[in-house]
């Protein structure tokens, strides 16, 4: 049986495993030059982009059946936080009808805002039948979102 070092001699003569990609790339480039008159474009590493969001505030917006805003409130979560991919964000916003009249709510939106006050994401729900909130009654609106 031949020692392992002797059987790998061809690998040492070829320049080792790390030389293979350069060797193959050179051969493909030479072949492209001969066949098409051009060389292979070098493969460049793509810069890693940050797809996180910084959320500073969120707002609950309640609308009537005509799409008019009937109530809105903004909350500060205690300072900006960074929201990254694969994280799940759950938000629950409460509304208590302090009016002497019923409030008719057809849809709601929760807006996530950046530090500059610009809305970075908006999500919500609309109801088939309007939701009636009696005076003094509390209603909680929630949403879940992932980046």
From CA 42, how far away is CA 26, in angstroms rounded?
Answer: 11
Express each pLDDT in 55-70 by its tens digit.
Answer: 899 999 999 999 999 9
Distance of CA 50 to the CA centre of its chain: 10
In the beta sheet, which residues pair with residue 144?
90
DSSP string, 56-83: -EEEEEEE-TTS-EEEEEEE--SS-EEE
Tokens of 2: 């031949």
* pLDDT of 43 over the 80 cut: no
| pTM exceeds cut of 0.85 | no
pLDDT given at position 138: 95
Sign of the Cα pseudo-torsion (140, 141, 142, 147, in order): negative
Domain map (residue ranges) of the chain: 4-36, 53-146
pLDDT band at 73 (very low <50, low <70, confident <90, very high): very high
From CA 42, how far away is CA 48, in angstroms rounded?
Answer: 18
Q: Does residue 2 or residue 136 have the better pLDDT?
A: 136
Average pLDDT of the chain is 77
Tokens of 46: 């793509």
Q: Does residue 67 or residue 52 have the better pLDDT?
A: 67
pLDDT given at position 10: 46
Tokens of 31: 């072949």
Q: Does residue 107 or residue 3 have the better pLDDT?
A: 107
């Amino acid at each position: 049986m031949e020692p392992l070092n002797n059987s790998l001699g061809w690998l040492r003569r070829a320049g080792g495993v790390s030389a293979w990609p350069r060797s193959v790339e050179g051969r493909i480039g030479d072949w492209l030059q001969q066949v098409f008159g051009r060389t292979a474009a070098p493969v460049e590493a793509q810069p890693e982009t940050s797809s996180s969001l910084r959320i500073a505030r969120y707002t609950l917006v309640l609308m009537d059946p005509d799409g008019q805003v009937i109530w809105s409130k903004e909350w500060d979560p205690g300072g900006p936080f960074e929201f990254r991919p694969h994280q799940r964000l759950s938000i629950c916003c409460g509304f208590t009808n302090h009016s002497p009249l019923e409030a008719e709510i057809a849809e709601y939106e929760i807006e996530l805002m950046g530090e500059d006050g610009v809305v970075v994401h908006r999500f919500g729900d609309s109801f088939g039948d309007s939701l009636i909130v009696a005076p003094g009654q509390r209603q909680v609106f929630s949403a879940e979102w992932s980046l």
